[in-house]
Amino acid sequence: MAKGPGPAGHHPSGHPGAGGGAMPASTAQAPGFPEGFLDDFLPRSLAKGHVLSTPSHPLNQVFIVRSGRLKVYLANDTREISLAILEAGDLFSTHTPTYVRTLEATELWVIDIGQFARKLAAQPAVSPLMMRVLGRILSNAIILVEDLAFRDVPARLARFLIRQAEQRGVTEAEGCLLPLNLGTEDIACLLGTTRQSVSSLINQWQREGLLTRRGRHSLLIHDAQALVARSLTSN
Amino acid sequence: MAKGPGPAGHHPSGHPGAGGGAMPASTAQAPGFPEGFLDDFLPRSLAKGHVLSTPSHPLNQVFIVRSGRLKVYLANDTREISLAILEAGDLFSTHTPTYVRTLEATELWVIDIGQFARKLAAQPAVSPLMMRVLGRILSNAIILVEDLAFRDVPARLARFLIRQAEQRGVTEAEGCLLPLNLGTEDIACLLGTTRQSVSSLINQWQREGLLTRRGRHSLLIHDAQALVARSLTSN
DNA sequence: CGGGAATTGTCGGCTGGCTGACGGACAGGG
DNA sequence: CCCTGTCCGTCAGCCAGCCGACAATTCCCG
C-alpha cells in the first residue's frame, strides 16, 4: 500500500499488506528521490517485534523501509486491526494515530518530520511524489472503511485473496499459487475479523474445491471466478 | 447564493484530535495560501444535491470549498456511510474512491490535479501545508476505521456527541447546547449505523436524564461525564 | 526423535444491531 | 385548516459472526 514509487500504473486497488513486486532495497531509493535526498536520513536497525510508534507516543518521523517488514495497526485491549504491512521501499509517517511494529528484523531510513518538510520545500520536485504516496495510503484507509461498513467476512476474505493473487500469485498447472507469508491470525487482523472465522471459511472453500492449502503459508487457488463471485457484497 | 464575502468570521479551527464525523481540513480559506495562489482555480457553482465525483467516474481535481456544504461518502446499494462533511475553507481531492455530493448550494474553487501538483512544485512553501491537510484527513479516516472495528454503536454515538460539544457546543445554564444541523439519519450515516439505532439510543439517554432534545436539530447535554463513560466501552 | 509451543480446525451458544413495519409528530402550502 | 410529505419513535424477529473451549495438527529446537 504505502508502496514506494514504482510502476504506478494500475489503479489503487491494493488491499493493505500488498507489497507488490518486491524491489531490491538497492534500487528502492532511486525512483522519485533526487540524488542525495536520502543523505540526511538516519539509518536505523530494529529487531523483530520492536514497537516504534504508538498513538500515545507518536514520534514525529518519516521513514522509508530499507529491508524487513512492519505492521501498521490499530489496537484495542482485546483486538488488533492492521492498516498496512510495509515492505522495502515503502514510506510512512508516524504522525498518524497508529501503532507501528516490526514483524521481523528491519532496517529503516529515518528523518524528523520537520526536517523532512524543509527538505520538501527545498526539493519541490518531490512534492508530487509525496502527494501520490499519501493519496494512496488514504485510498487504502478508505477501502478498509468500505470493507468494514459494507462487506461481510466471506466477501472481505475473497477480495483479499483475489488481490493477493493478482499481486504475487504465480500461475501453475493446478491454478494460481499464492505465497502469503502470513498466518491465519494475521489475515484475520488485516480483515478486521477473527481467526476462527477465517479458518472455517478457508476450510469450507477447500471442501468446495475452490482452493487448497499448500503447506503452512501458501494457498493454491483453483477457481478464481468463484472467489470473485463471493467477493461481491453478499447480504 | 447571495453569499457575502465568505472569509468573515469562521469557527475556531485547530481543534486537536477532533475527528468525529467532520474530518475536513479546516484550514479556513486564507491561511497558508500565498496571495494569488488561487488565481488558476476555476470558480464553480453547484446546486444542492449535485454529485460531483463517484468512485467509478472520478474527476482528477482538487477543490477548495468557498461556501456551502458537501458530503464525502461511500455507498452501497442499500446504505451510505459518510467520511466527512466539508464546509467553507476545506480542501479535498477527488482522486479518492468516494462519492462527493453537495448538501446545499455550494461554490468551489476547482483545479486539475496535475496543474495543482505543478503549482505545488512552483510554490514549495505550500507543501508543508498540504502534508498537514492530507495527514489530518488520513488521521480522521483512521479514526473511523477504529470506530467501526472496535466500538459498539452507543460508544460511537457518545463519542460523536462529545466531539460535537467540544467543537460547536454552547455552554448554558442547564448544560451544553449543541446545534447539530443534521437529522437522525445523517448522524447514523456518519457513524456507520442505522436511523433506528441512533433514535432509540438518544431517547434512552433522554429518559436517563443525560440529555434533552431541543427542537428538531439541537440537543442539550446535561451530563457530559456520563457520555464520556459510555464512549469508552467496547463490548 | 520427542516433547513443549505455537498454530490451526471445529462447534455451540449468545447477542448486537440490522431489517421491516407501522403509527405519531411535525412541518408547509394550498 | 386539512392534506401530504418528511421525519422520528418503537417494537419483534432474525442472523452474522464473536466468544470460549477444546482437540488436532504442525513447527521448532535441542
What is the domain partition of chain A in residue ranges? Answer: 25-147, 152-231
pLDDT digits (tens, 9 = 90+) for B49-104: 888 989 888 888 889 889 888 888 999 888 899 988 888 888 888 878 889 999 88
Distance B179 CA to C5 C1' (A): 57
Q: What is the CATH number of domain B25-147?
A: 2.60.120.10
pLDDT at site A225: 93
* Yes or no, beta carbons of B142 and A143 under 8 Å apart: no
Handedness of CA A189, A190, A191, A197 (dihedral sign): negative
- Has residue B19 got a pLDDT over 60? no
Given CB atoms, is A77 within the 8 Å cutoff of chain B? yes
Q: Which of A77, A124, A233 lies at the smallest CB-CB distance from B76?
A: A233
Residue of chain B with shortest Cα separation from A117:
B128
Contact residues on chain B for A95, CB-CB shorter than 8 A: 135
Query: Considering only the top CATH level, what class is A152-231?
Result: mainly alpha
Select from A79, A96, A143 the Cβ nearest to the Cβ of B139: A96
Write the residue in B97, B117, B137 that is nearest to A143 by C-beta: B97
How large is the average pLDDT for residues A176-188? 91
Report the distance separating Cα B133 and Cα A127, nearest Å.
14
B118: cell is 505543478
Mean pLDDT for all residues in chain B? 80
Q: What is the C-alpha to C-alpha distance for residues A74 and A81, in angstroms, rounded to an integer?
A: 5
Three-state DSSP state, B174: coil
Nearest to A146 by CA among A211, A181, A189, A191: A191
| Whether the Cβ atoms of residue A184 and residue A206 lie closer than 8 Å to each other | no
Test mutation, B81, B146, B151, chain A, max A CBs within 10 A: B146
- Residues B199-228 as b or e (16 or more Cβ within 10 Å = b): eebbeebeeeebbeeeeeeebbbbebebbe
Q: What whole-number distance in Å separates Cα of residue A43 and Cα of residue A108?
A: 6
Lowest-confidence segment of A13-17, B139-143, B185-189 by average pLDDT: A13-17
Read off the pLDDT of residues A28-82 as tens digits, 9 standing for 90 and up: 444 556 677 788 899 999 888 889 999 888 888 889 889 888 899 999 888 899 9
Radius of gyration of chain A from Cα atoms? 18
How many Å from the CA of B184 to C1' of D4?
Answer: 21
pLDDT of residue B187: 95
Q: How far is the CA of A201 from the C1' of D21 (A)?
A: 20
Decide if pLDDT at A181 tops 80. Answer: yes
What pLDDT is attached to residue A21? 32
Region of residue B202 (phi > 0: left; psi between -120 and 50: alpha; otherwise: beta): alpha
